[in-house]
Amino acid sequence: MLHIVNKSATERSSLESCLRMATKGSAVLLIEDAVYAATNGNAAAAKIQAAAADLKIYALGPDLAARGMAGRVLDGVNVVDYGGFVDLVAEHSNCQSWL
């Protein structure tokens, strides 16, 4: 399963719900305002790092760059471009968007 989250973890609970429901080995792709959670010092960073033990965590590079966050990405988070986004969707048999 590929989980896609697009809301800021410091404003909404969608990331927390996602991490609660995601099963071991699943992928979580952070896009739009959700990318802030994958940056150093963010209140949600510890949750992302803990989750990275069982899940593969990705963040969309163009969304990080547009928010001035490209240089602040947490260790263990994989940055992908739009091509990588497409590959993730194609590689997984199903996907869930946490709107």
Binding site for another protein (CB under 8 A): 6-8, 10-11, 32-33, 36, 39-43, 45, 61-63, 65-72, 81
Shorter beta-carbon distance to another protein: residue 19 or 60: 60
* Cβ distance to another protein smaller for residue 62 or 92: 62
Question: Cα separation of 25 and 27, whole Å?
Answer: 7
Minimum CB distance to another protein smaller for 45 or for 57: 45
User: Which structure tokens are listed for 37?
Assistant: 């959670």
The alpha-carbon radius of gyration of the chain (Å, integer) is 12
Q: Which amino acid is it at 51?
A: A
